[in-house]
Chains A and B, each alone.
Chain A
Amino acid sequence: MLIRLLLAAWLCVIAAPGQAADVQNDQPTAEAAKPGKNAKPKDQSKPKKQKKPKSNVPAPDEPINPEEQIEPTVAEPSGGGWRFSWKQHPSIRYGSVFRLDGQAKFQEDGHSTYEGAVDVPGWELHRNRIGISGYLSKKIEYEIERELTEKELTDKDILAGVTEASHWKDVNVNLTFVKNAQVQIGKFKVPFGLDQLTGVTHNDFIYRSLGASYLAPARDIGAMVHGRFFKRGLNYWAGFFQHDGDNARSKKIQGGDETFAARVTGMPFRKIASGSVAAIEVGSSFAISALSDDSFRPNGLRGRTVVSQDTFAEPVYVKGRRRRWEADADWASGPIAARTEYTWVSDDRLGQGLGDENLPDARARSWYVSGVWVVTAEDKTRPLKAASEFLQGGWGAVEVVARLERLWYDSAGPSTGVAFRNPRAETILPTGDRVVTVGANWILNRFTKLQINVIREHLEDADRNPVTNGGALWSRIVRLQFVL
């Protein structure tokens, strides 16, 4: 599979299609929320070292601001009628009233972790997604994406009460009749969390932070209104959803029910400062969900290690409300970027004691700090674009990354007794995972990226440490990403 992907990547490099401009519908993602990375204030201190991509053709996974017209390098055929083009994506169009783009994302991963880890494949096709997106009359945007590698359930799984993971990712329409109050309906990401809302192919790291993976909701079915003001200096999203996202569910965890979520981001220093400070974007999200104990299994959030997926925080029994809050900051200046995020989740435990009494809230928290340095001196964007693509007169772009993070679980309120690990413990024994990730990304061209991460994890509860001597878990991952 790896060889096939590499061959496909080379072919795309050699046969890269036309360099014409293209316009794509807005994406409800963290990077789409920004006022266009190209328009971001730049650090003026070292302008000579910054490189610009030779091509202005967006990468296949690059969100495009529909308000910004990209200068075409090849004249588009004028007039109406059906036509096929391949610029950012292979695309079918009818005049200016209909557009259908084909998309694909492939990620082949190689893993190595501690000896004795169970069910960690050496190599796997981690993501294999295809989809379409486009618009009807430019006021109705649509998107459909499906994961092809989700495993079907066996009869044994069904007997064991295992529920199927959805194969569908983004399936939604976005109505843009009112620019500052667009309406999105369908399945898409609940607006919560900077890292979770960063597209999977844009991430600086192979895996999202633990908080983004286990505390942020991710996708669900719902309706959302969103818009922007002050030239994207202020952005908002607010919506109602059927549940509280795929991350709160698993094969055995039912997850939360009706959810309201809202997110606001902005660049508060843009008007009062210049240079690097003005580039700081801050955001905050809030979500509240109903929690039932309809399932006989615990319905709380769980925590698992990054690569080996060992559960270090088992779900506890919850009922009532789940409240999430998050704050983040994102900064980029020339070839350097940094991010930080703090997430807090609290679950009611009404009637969940052994004597059916109420218990103190179950609580989960996370934070991370990450940094990126583009060694080859391009401006840091997501996705990063190489000034000179590999085998097109250059070596591509290279960036080094590092992240420090922690995810931990306990119960709220004053400790009234001995802490236990059982899912109805009045005082939940604190448990967490401290993770350090360092790595490098090599962007060969706009289709292909090679990532290498080394991860060190330290579980805070030795009893839940899968390494027998209680030591740190070391993992190494390499990912070849190909987007179309």
Chain B
Amino acid sequence: MLLNRARAFILILALGALLPHAVVSQTPAVDPSDSFFDDTVLHDVRLAINGRDLESLHVNFLSNEYYPVNFAWRDKSMPGVGIRSRGTGSRSGVKPGLRIDFDRYATDQKFLGLKSVIFRNQTQDPSHLRERLAMLFFRRMGLKAERQAHARLFFNNNYAGLYTIVESVDKIFLKKNFGEDTSNLYEFAFDNSVGHVPFIFKYLGSDANLYVPVPFKPETKETDTQPQYIERLIWTIDQAGDAAWRQSIAEYLDLPKFIRHLAIESFLAEEDGITGDYGPNNFYFYRYENKSLFQFIPWDKSNTFWEAPSPNYFILRNVEDGPVDHRNRLVQRALKYPDLWTLFLDTLEECANSASAGATTGANPQPGWLSSEVQREYLQIRDAALADTLIFTNAQFEQAVADIKAFAAGRSDAVKAQVATYRARGPLP
């Protein structure tokens, strides 16, 4: 009897020790910043800024000078936050794009767990929708991408325009999405402006400084940039022999994951991405801890939905056409392999199906997921966009949204048709 009681006691103790563990492991981690990126609402963000600084922010928009502000969102406010003008092609003195650094003046200061956030001014997108739609679609397809939401921005309680809140790709993003944050993160920051030869992952030589800090700009570990891994990666992409290429590249890249990224960009008609018109562009690059393996992270998708309202953007743009010196060497070599070629086309079809999911025809036709999302976001931002005429007129906004709607309605069928054509033809020669 006593022995049984003892056994029961030990059993209860053991279960008791396990129970909290099980409960904890089943509870999803709550990210305090989720509410800030809640895309079911249009946010209001208010910045209190000195009048001289506000003037300077507009006049000296090419400068990266920081200005101190008080940041307020809902019932939360934070003093001593730094903002600065940002962007390359989107830099504007009329409607400055903003980088907001919560830790600019205090290393440990965070807002809802965030060290910084981007306020994209969408000066290149009259619809205000492309970036947010594209990143949402990346996440819908299972890839890691920045969270986004729309916000009305106020300077000293004066409306300053409709902005897209973009999650920063930083250590916090890395930890949240990849479970680690201690290795090297780079932003691909090559000058692809007219007159410059694009960097197409072509081997430039054994000097690692040819790759870091340009075009691979260190974003973490700035004093320990480890450029030799980049040099080896580029050598492998461009120089490794065909026989050993797949095996060699596997050390540096998860090719199936990369092909998936490529296919999503292609479906979204990304004109300034990995196979962009100006050479490869708009991605971050992360090397996993203690490995040679790199990870592409999408960035700045404001040039997606290109050629809208036409849904016929070529799925092999700058792969089979376009200037030869703009064609990405990694893509060129990868798509020669039948299995990767098939994966590329399969993923495009998967994108098409996902975008059109829920669509019905007949007497009461229902739009697919992408069309529904365009309409939802449009209704959410419409009033704020119409009140913001700093860059685009109301007519330009409405037309751009109409174009996106047309693209969304026809893109799945257009892609499927192109996929069928190229599936029959086979991989890149």
- Residues of A participating in the B interface, judged by any CB pair closer than 8 Å: 116, 118, 159-161, 293, 296-297, 317, 351-356, 418, 420-425, 463
Q: Which residues in window 117-142 of B have CB below 8 A to A? A: none
The answer to whether residues A421 and B48 also contact, given A160-B63, A297-B65, A354-B70 and a CB cut-off of 8 A, is no
The answer, among A116, A159, A296, A420, for a CB contact under 8 Å with B52, is A296
Across-interface contacts of B65 in A (CB, < 8 A):
296-297
Cβ–Cβ contact B68 & A422, under 8 A: yes
The answer to whether residues A422 and B105 also contact, given A116-B223, A161-B63, A296-B60 and a CB cut-off of 8 A, is yes
Q: 4 smallest A-B Cβ distances: which pairs?
A: A296-B56, A422-B68, A422-B105, A421-B105
Q: 21 interchain pairs (CB within 8 A)?
A: A116-B223, A296-B52, A296-B53, A296-B56, A296-B59, A296-B63, A317-B50, A351-B50, A352-B50, A354-B68, A354-B70, A355-B48, A420-B79, A421-B80, A422-B68, A422-B81, A422-B104, A424-B53, A424-B68, A425-B80, A425-B105
In the complex, what residue of chain B is closest to A160 when comparing beta carbons? B63
Cβ–Cβ contact A422 & B63, under 8 A: no
Question: How many Å lie between the Cα of A114 and that of B17 in the bound state?
Answer: 48
Question: How many Å lie between the Cα of A439 and that of B24 in the bound state?
Answer: 60
The answer to whether residues A463 and B63 also contact, given A296-B56, A420-B80 and a CB cut-off of 8 A, is no
In the complex, what residue of chain B is closest to A352 when comparing beta carbons? B50
Question: How many Å lie between the Cα of A352 and that of B65 in the bound state?
Answer: 16
Across-interface contacts of B156 in A (CB, < 8 A):
355
Question: How many Å lie between the Cα of A168 and that of B81 in the bound state?
Answer: 40
Question: How many Å lie between the Cα of A241 and that of B280 in the bound state?
Answer: 54
Across-interface contacts of A463 in B (CB, < 8 A):
106-108
B69 CB–A CB distance under 8 Å = yes
B240 CB–A CB distance under 8 Å = no
Q: Which residues in window 56-104 of B have CB below 8 A to A? A: 56, 59-60, 62-63, 65, 68-70, 79-82, 104
In the complex, what residue of chain A is closest to B156 when comparing beta carbons? A355
Question: How many Å lie between the Cα of A421 and that of B66 in the bound state?
Answer: 13
Beyond contacts A296-B60, A356-B52: 12 other A-B pairs, Cβ-Cβ < 8 A, are A160-B63, A296-B53, A296-B63, A317-B52, A351-B50, A352-B50, A355-B48, A356-B51, A420-B79, A421-B80, A424-B68, A463-B107
* Minimum Cβ distance to chain A for residue B8 (Å): 51
How many B residues touch A, CB cutoff 8 Å?
A: 26
Question: How many Å lie between the Cα of A351 and that of B106 in the bound state?
Answer: 24
Across-interface contacts of A424 in B (CB, < 8 A):
50, 53, 68
Question: How many Å lie between the Cα of A116 and that of B222 in the bound state?
Answer: 11
Across-interface contacts of A420 in B (CB, < 8 A):
79-80, 105-106
Question: How many Å lie between the Cα of A356 and that of B108 in the bound state?
Answer: 27
Contact with A along B7-29 (1 / 0, CB 8 A): 00000000000000000000000
The answer to whether residues A356 and B105 also contact, given A421-B80, A424-B68, A425-B80 and a CB cut-off of 8 A, is no
Cβ–Cβ contact B68 & A425, under 8 A: yes
The answer, among B62, B82, B107, for a CB contact under 8 Å with A422, is B82
Question: How many Å lie between the Cα of A160 and that of B59 in the bound state?
Answer: 14
B386 CB–A CB distance under 8 Å = no
Across-interface contacts of A293 in B (CB, < 8 A):
52
Across-interface contacts of A161 in B (CB, < 8 A):
60, 63
Cβ–Cβ contact B56 & A423, under 8 A: no
B49 CB–A CB distance under 8 Å = yes
In the complex, what residue of chain B is closest to A424 when comparing beta carbons? B68
* Minimum Cβ distance to chain B for residue A400 (Å): 36
Question: How many Å lie between the Cα of A317 and that of B49 in the bound state?
Answer: 13
Looking at B60, B62, B79, B223, which has the most chain A CB atoms within 10 Å of its CB? B79
Question: How many Å lie between the Cα of A30 and that of B156 in the bound state?
Answer: 51
The answer, among A160, A297, A353, A421, for a CB contact under 8 Å with B50, is A353
The answer to whether residues A423 and B68 also contact, given A296-B52, A317-B50, A356-B51 and a CB cut-off of 8 A, is yes
* Minimum Cβ distance to chain A for residue B181 (Å): 16
Cβ–Cβ contact B48 & A354, under 8 A: yes
Across-interface contacts of B52 in A (CB, < 8 A):
293, 296, 317, 351, 356
Question: How many Å lie between the Cα of A351 and that of B55 in the bound state?
Answer: 14
* Minimum Cβ distance to chain A for residue B54 (Å): 10
Across-interface contacts of B108 in A (CB, < 8 A):
463
Question: How many Å lie between the Cα of A3 and that of B65 in the bound state?
Answer: 43
Across-interface contacts of B223 in A (CB, < 8 A):
116, 118
Question: How many Å lie between the Cα of A421 and that of B104 in the bound state?
Answer: 9
Question: How many Å lie between the Cα of A351 and that of B51 in the bound state?
Answer: 9
Across-interface contacts of B48 in A (CB, < 8 A):
354-355
The answer, among B50, B56, B60, for a CB contact under 8 Å with A354, is B50
Across-interface contacts of A355 in B (CB, < 8 A):
48, 50, 156
Looking at A118, A354, A355, A463, which has the most chain B CB atoms within 10 Å of its CB? A354
Across-interface contacts of B79 in A (CB, < 8 A):
418, 420, 422, 425
Q: Which residues in window 170-209 of B have CB below 8 A to A? A: none
Question: How many Å lie between the Cα of A164 and that of B50 in the bound state?
Answer: 28
* Minimum Cβ distance to chain A for residue B105 (Å): 4
Cβ–Cβ contact B106 & A421, under 8 A: yes
Question: How many Å lie between the Cα of A351 and that of B107 in the bound state?
Answer: 27
In the complex, what residue of chain B is closest to A115 when comparing beta carbons? B223
Question: How many Å lie between the Cα of A419 and that of B234 in the bound state?
Answer: 49
* Minimum Cβ distance to chain A for residue B254 (Å): 33
The answer to whether residues A354 and B105 also contact, given A116-B223, A421-B80 and a CB cut-off of 8 A, is no
Across-interface contacts of A351 in B (CB, < 8 A):
50, 52
Across-interface contacts of A425 in B (CB, < 8 A):
68, 79-80, 105
In the complex, what residue of chain B is closest to A419 when comparing beta carbons? B80
In the complex, what residue of chain B is closest to A297 when comparing beta carbons? B65
Across-interface contacts of B70 in A (CB, < 8 A):
354
Across-interface contacts of A352 in B (CB, < 8 A):
50
Question: How many Å lie between the Cα of A249 and that of B401 in the bound state?
Answer: 51
* Minimum Cβ distance to chain B for residue A23 (Å): 52
Across-interface contacts of B69 in A (CB, < 8 A):
354
* Minimum Cβ distance to chain B for residue A154 (Å): 15
Cβ–Cβ contact B50 & A422, under 8 A: no
Across-interface contacts of A159 in B (CB, < 8 A):
62
Question: How many Å lie between the Cα of A424 and that of B68 in the bound state?
Answer: 7
Looking at B53, B60, B106, which has the most chain A CB atoms within 10 Å of its CB? B53
Across-interface contacts of A297 in B (CB, < 8 A):
65
In the complex, what residue of chain B is closest to A462 when comparing beta carbons? B107
In the complex, what residue of chain B is closest to A317 when comparing beta carbons? B50
* Minimum Cβ distance to chain B for residue A187 (Å): 29
Question: How many Å lie between the Cα of A440 and that of B79 in the bound state?
Answer: 48
Across-interface contacts of A423 in B (CB, < 8 A):
68, 105
Question: How many Å lie between the Cα of A463 and that of B103 in the bound state?
Answer: 11
In the complex, what residue of chain A is closest to B51 when comparing beta carbons? A356
* Minimum Cβ distance to chain A for residue B351 (Å): 41
Across-interface contacts of A160 in B (CB, < 8 A):
63
Question: How many Å lie between the Cα of A356 and that of B50 in the bound state?
Answer: 5
Across-interface contacts of A421 in B (CB, < 8 A):
80, 105-106
Question: How many Å lie between the Cα of A296 and that of B52 in the bound state?
Answer: 8
Looking at A160, A296, A317, A352, which has the most chain B CB atoms within 10 Å of its CB? A296
Question: How many Å lie between the Cα of A118 and that of B224 in the bound state?
Answer: 12
* Minimum Cβ distance to chain A for residue B71 (Å): 11
* Minimum Cβ distance to chain B for residue A242 (Å): 24
* Minimum Cβ distance to chain A for residue B55 (Å): 8
* Minimum Cβ distance to chain A for residue B81 (Å): 8
Question: How many Å lie between the Cα of A199 and that of B68 in the bound state?
Answer: 40
Question: How many Å lie between the Cα of A296 and that of B82 in the bound state?
Answer: 15
* Minimum Cβ distance to chain A for residue B270 (Å): 30
Q: Which residues in window 127-176 of B have CB below 8 A to A? A: 156
Question: How many Å lie between the Cα of A423 and that of B106 in the bound state?
Answer: 12
Across-interface contacts of A317 in B (CB, < 8 A):
50, 52
Across-interface contacts of B63 in A (CB, < 8 A):
160-161, 296
Question: How many Å lie between the Cα of A418 and that of B77 in the bound state?
Answer: 14
Across-interface contacts of B80 in A (CB, < 8 A):
420-422, 425
* Minimum Cβ distance to chain B for residue A417 (Å): 9
* Minimum Cβ distance to chain B for residue A481 (Å): 32
Question: How many Å lie between the Cα of A297 and that of B70 in the bound state?
Answer: 18
Across-interface contacts of A353 in B (CB, < 8 A):
50
In the complex, what residue of chain A is closest to B57 when comparing beta carbons? A296
In the complex, what residue of chain A is closest to B81 when comparing beta carbons? A422
